[in-house]
Each structure stands twice: as C-alpha cells, then as structure tokens.
Amino acid sequence: MPVFKLGLIINPYAGIGGALALKGSDGAAVRQKALAMGAEQKAPKRAAEALELLAPLKDRIGIVTAAGDMGQRIAEQLGFETEVIYQPPEQTEAKDSQKLAELLMEQHVDLILFAGGDGTARNICDVVGETLPVLGIPAGCKIHSGVYTVTPKAAGKVVEKLVKGELLSLREADVMDIDEEQFRQGQVRARRFGEMRVPAELQYVQAVKMGGRESDELVLADIAAHVIESMNDELYIMGSGSTVASIMEELGLDNTLLGVDLVHNEELIGQDMTAEALLSAVKGKAAKLVITLIGGQGHLFGRGNQQLSPEVIRAVGRDHILVVATKTKLQALDGRPLIADTGDAELDKALSGPITVITGFHDQVIYPVASPGSE
C-alpha cells in the first residue's frame, strides 16, 4: 500500500489566455474565446513536469484525483496508482476545483498538489484554508501567491523530499489575486485572500543559537505556545516526556513526567491515568492527544506510554494526534521514521504515513511514521 497519499488537482484551463495576451483565464467567456483562438491547454503538461520527477518513487505514492484532465489522465500516463473520486464536466469551472478539494480533505490526503494560477489558489483556499498542506504548480497567467513553487519541476522536488521523509518545515503562505479587468486596462492591484500551509525547505527562523543549533529552552517554550494557542473546548490527553511536560509547565499545571494526564479548558482533570480511565473519559467525546517521541529511538507509541492503549488511540483518531518535538530531536533520527508499536498491527498500519510535527511557534514539519517491519 502506498506510503504517501497525494491529492492532485489540475485546472485544465489555467493559463489558457496567456499566450494570446488575454491576461488571465478567469470566466467561461474568456476560456471560450481562448479556445476559439486556438489556445493550448498547458496546465496538464506543467503538472506532468512535476510528476515526472516522482516517477522513480511511484511505488510509494498513491494519487487521488478527478477523472480526465483534472488529474487522472496525466497520473495514469506516468504509471502512478490512481484513485478517481470525482467526475467533472467536460468544461470545468472553479466549483469543480473546490468540489475536488472538499473530497480530497475527506480522503485525508497527505498533501494537495495543484496546477493553476492565482484564481485556482483562491478557489482551493476557500475550501482548504490551513487545514492541510498544499503546494502549487505554476500554470496560470497570474502567479502572485506564495503557495506556488518557482517552476513545475521545483514542485516535484519538494514532493520528492516529502515522500523520502526529509525534514521540511510547513509555513503559512499568502494567497493573492489581481482584478483581471483592471489588469487588462494596465492596472495591477493584488489583494490578499487568505493563507494556506505549504512545505518549505527546513530553516531555523527563530529560537536559534550561534552556529544554527536550537536553544532547547526557547524552542520548548515556542512549542508550548503553539499548542496552548490552538487549545479549545476539547479534552487533551497529555502524554509522557519532557517536551509535553514543558506545555504543562506553561499551563501552570502539575505534570506526570512518566505518565499520562488529562486537561480540559486548561485545567487538570485527571492525573497519571490508566488506559481504562482514559478510555472512559474520552470515548464518544472530542479529544486530542499531545505526544512526543523517545529521543534516539523515535517511538511514538509502545515505549513507556502503554496507558495510550489501541482503544484510546482509536477513540481519539489519527487526525487528532498532536506530535511535538524539536527539530534537533528529529534530525538525531538520521532520517529514520517515527515508530508506532501499539501492539495492534492494524492500528500501527493505520498510524503509518506522513504526520505533522509541531516544532515551534507556528512552525511545523512533515515526518514519516512507520509500523514495525514496514517497508
């Protein structure tokens, strides 16, 4: 089964008016005019440039997309395992990109890779926001948004790094667009429409020492600030380890360093809890699990936190697991994946694959999780 689940959206009409000096491709009338003038659909070809770099890794990638030129045709031509989840009309519109984005979110893909321009980015941002990582393949007339790579091949390179498990930060990037009517009159007025999260090269932007080494104390404070900022009216299972302990310290709560505690509305409601007590507390309720890895080994589950039983983990759900770790701790693994060893083979398999790790304040990376014996 493929390790990396890649959502693919191609706007077949992106950039169709560029070569014909139509200054954009927004709107059915412009597209029809461009086609009547003999315009060539270049977005599928630009998407292919990105995907061709991933061909050597196609046994580790599963592409989820729409039929025809919105993704299926190019993916299958390049030999990727492809799952079609949407049948678009012959001439696609903005709503088709949005519908496909909605379906990809339901499929819990690891990344949405899309080909288009600023209009396409806006459409996808309206649906996805900052919910999951995205990456744009530049294929439109207007490329003002920060969610696009510099070239289609650059997009392929970034995805290649993700599939190989290399450490990439996630950052918020602006989604911009300009008014095409004003653009056609020679006026460029770009507006910001939102943000999406994109994978970027690993950079130490904040909380660093001279020489580029992280200051553990500052980084742990940053991680704690990120988690606390995101806390809402849910139950939070706080796992063992010093990284999670730093969050409890910032909350001003007693912490069981080698145990598991339960927090609600930033108050301690359960301390050093058993698996049975945890399951009783969270079953059928909205809950998140905050957990770190064992340094040097990489275990998330199965080493020193058996209170997090398979039943508890299932009750929480993979999408509600918050993994916290410093980049130094992750880099010490030398590329080895995080390990899920819950004692339940099916659950270990379900937990495998890329996961987001909180590494600082508004700083996250994608890192692979594997089960014992997995490829």
Residue 127, class by beta-carbon neighbours within 10 Å (0-12 exposed, 13-18 middle, 19+ buried)? middle
Lowest mean pLDDT among 5-19, 93-107, 334-348, 357-371: 5-19
- State residue 15's pLDDT score: 66
User: pLDDT of 143-195, one tens digit each?
Assistant: 778 888 877 888 899 999 899 888 788 888 888 876 555 444 444 455 778 99
Cα 77 to chain center, whole Å? 26
Residue 253, class by beta-carbon neighbours within 10 Å (0-12 exposed, 13-18 middle, 19+ buried)? middle
User: pLDDT of 41-91, one tens digit each?
Assistant: 788 988 999 999 999 999 999 999 999 999 999 999 999 999 999 999 988
Q: Which amino acid is at 335?
A: G
Length of the chain: 375
Going by DSSP bridges, is the β-strand pair 287-291/235-238 parallel, antiparallel, or unpaired? parallel
- State residue 175's pLDDT score: 87
Helices 216-230 and 242-251 cross at an angle (nearest 10°) of: 60
User: pLDDT of 220-260, one tens digit each?
Assistant: 989 999 999 999 999 999 998 889 999 999 999 999 888 89
User: Which residue is associated with the tokens 């599963």?
Assistant: 62
User: pLDDT of 265-301, one tens digit each?
Assistant: 999 999 999 999 999 999 999 999 999 998 777 889 8
- State residue 204's pLDDT score: 25
Phi, psi at 116, each rounded to 5°: 175, -155
- State residue 52's pLDDT score: 95
CB under 8 Å to 316, separation ≥6 — which residues? 237, 282, 287, 288, 289
- State residue 290's pLDDT score: 97
- State residue 192's pLDDT score: 79
The stretch 332-342 carries a mean pLDDT of 86
C-beta of residue 115 within 8 angstroms of C-beta of residue 147: no
Say whether pTM exceeds 0.85: no
CB under 8 Å to 303, separation ≥6 — which residues? 294, 297, 341
Residue 372 has pLDDT above 70, yes or no: no
- State residue 231's pLDDT score: 95
- State residue 373's pLDDT score: 53
C-beta of residue 291 within 8 angstroms of C-beta of residue 239: yes
Residue 263 has pLDDT above 50, yes or no: yes
- State residue 42's pLDDT score: 80
Residue 313 has pLDDT above 90, yes or no: yes
- State residue 302's pLDDT score: 79
